[in-house]
Structure formats: C-alpha cells, structure tokens
Amino acid sequence: MHRVVISNGVFNGLSGLNVNPLHLLDKVRIVLSHTSHPGNIGGAARAMKTMGLDSLYLVNPRFFPDKEAERRATGALDILHKAKVCDTLDEALSGTVLAAAVTARQRDLSHEVFDGRQGATKLLDLAQKDFVALVFGTEMSGLTTLEVSKCQIIIHIPANPEYSSLNLASAVQVMAYELRMACRDLLETPPASPTLTLHGGGMAATFDEIELLYAHLEQVAISSGFLDPQEPKRLMQRMRRLFARARLEKEEVNILRGILSACEKRM
C-alpha cells in the first residue's frame, strides 16, 4: 500500500504527517442493532475484514457468541472475538462524532440523506479526527424511529424499489466497500486510466513494426486469393482499425508475422 503525504485539503488536521488514508478505517465503527440471525453477524465481520475495517459493535444481539456466527466469519474470527456487545445504542455510539443510519428504504426527510458513496466520503472526512459509526438495524424491520433519531444522517443504499431488502451482511459489505473506495480516492495519485495502458506489460510494438505487419498481412491476403488488388475496398483500413484498438506488443506482431510466413511457405 502506498503512503502519501497529504498536506492540505480534507487532511488539514494531519498536515505534514505521513498519512495512509486506509488508517481512517480504524475510526469507523460498524454497529449492528438487535440482530436476529447470528450468521449475519459472522457475515458482517467477514465483509468488514475484506475491506480493512475491524471495529464491530453489537447492540443486544439475539444470539452471541454463536457457532453459526463463527462459521460465517471464516477468516474474520478476530473481529468477532473483539466485538463489543452493548446493551443500548447509546453505549455503542459513545465517543462518536457522526453516526449514519443505513437503510435501503426511503425514509421520511427528517435527516439529511446521502447515498452510500457520498455517505462514505462524509464519514471518512470526520474520521480524520474522531470516531464515526454506521448503524444497521434488524433483518426484518431495520432501524426503529428512535434509533434513527440517535443518528445524525441517513445513508440510503440505492436499490430496486420493488425489492430493496438487502441481506444485512451484504449491506455491510456494500458500505465497507464504499469506505475502502473512498480511502483510495483520497490517495493523491489516482491509478492511471486503464484506457491508456491497453497492452499487458510487454514491450509495445513500434510504428514501423506494425506497418510491416500490415504490409505482410495485405500481401498474404492477396497471394491467398482472398483480396483482389484491383478492388481492395476497405479491407486494410478495417484491419488497421482493429489492430490500432489492440495496441500491439512486439511479441504479438512476431507471432502474427510468423503465422503469415508459415502460410506463405506452404502456398
């Protein structure tokens, strides 16, 4: 993982330090309220760990600890083992500066509503200095109005209005993913656009090598009888367009010309 120096902008509070934005994830709590199925707690722990989160709070889980939770957590047992079990949501949110209620359904407009992407950015912004939380409700009925009222913003995960019932662990996965993506966006140098690096790491063929390939291909197209040189139409234009898109490598040109030469020898 790259480390970058970020000395201004949203990183005000840390100016001058070596900051890895992924460390911001340590400040994000995942709070699951009144979870019914322990398997979902395990699934949530696994989802968190895959994205680099590790702070799990459980408000009155129905069953915990639990074998099914451990089974679904697979490699994220450490997160389960250090999960904090709380009696109330207040306890789980103690010390946080921003709590976001996550819902896949549209709620009343009593809160500022953000989508998952905007919400993740919002949380990370504050996580530079303080603890923040993402709060998820029960599998059947989500968060109560009282619980939502303890949060400062709502995060709505865009979903199919005809069936918006994300599995709890899946909702945690989506938000954990968005948090990790938001960290990546904070890294100063975004990855080069893949459209600019279309060849797979080999040496790019030069203009001259590619021109020789076109000439060779045209010659074989003619000598094989496929192309009538009196009426060439746009055949070679089409081939140029095709190979231009591919950004040929030296070795690929060699293979193609090798096949053409072998054919010529047999003809």
Which residues, 154 to 193, sit near a second copy by CB under 8 A?
157-161, 163-167, 169-170, 173-174, 177, 180-181, 184, 191
Q: Which is nearer to a second copy, 36 or 165 (CB)?
A: 165
Q: Which residues, numbered 77-116, are part of the site for a second copy (CB under 8 A)?
A: 104, 109-116
Q: Which is nearer to a second copy, 91 or 228 (CB)?
A: 228
The correct pick among 43, 61, 137, 142 for binding a second copy (CB under 8 A) is 43
Q: Which is nearer to a second copy, 17 or 263 (CB)?
A: 263
Tokens representing 101 are: 């209620």
- The candidate with the shortest Cα–Cα distance to 122, out of 88, 155, 147, is 155
32 binds a second copy per the rule CB under 8 A: no
Q: Which is nearer to a second copy, 163 or 207 (CB)?
A: 163
Q: Which is nearer to a second copy, 150 or 180 (CB)?
A: 180
8 A C-beta contact, residue 35 and residue 62: yes
b/e burial code for range 150-176 (CB count within 10 A of at least 16 → b): bbbbbbbbebeeeeeebebbbbbbbbb
Q: Which stretch binds a second copy (CB under 8 A): 57-65, 87-95, 127-135, 194-202?
A: 194-202
Structure-token match 């990855």, residue found: 191
Give the shortest CB-88-to-a second copy separation in angstroms: 26
Q: Which is nearer to a second copy, 50 or 144 (CB)?
A: 50
Give the shortest CB-167-to-a second copy separation in angstroms: 6
Give the shortest CB-27-to-a second copy separation in angstroms: 16
The correct pick among 5, 17, 215, 246 for binding a second copy (CB under 8 A) is 246
- Cα distance between residue 256 and residue 233, in whole Å: 23
Torsion sign, CA atoms 5, 10, 13, 19? negative
The correct pick among 200, 207, 229, 230 for binding a second copy (CB under 8 A) is 200
- Cα distance between residue 40 and residue 170, in whole Å: 9
Q: Is 132 exposed, middle or buried (0-12, 13-18, 19+ CB in 10 A)?
A: buried
Q: Which residues, numbered 109-138, are part of the site for a second copy (CB under 8 A)?
A: 109-118
- The candidate with the shortest Cα–Cα distance to 100, out of 89, 113, 117, is 113
Q: Which is nearer to a second copy, 92 or 213 (CB)?
A: 213
- Cα distance between residue 201 and residue 130, in whole Å: 42
Give the shortest CB-25-to-a second copy separation in angstroms: 9
Tokens representing 31 are: 């709070």
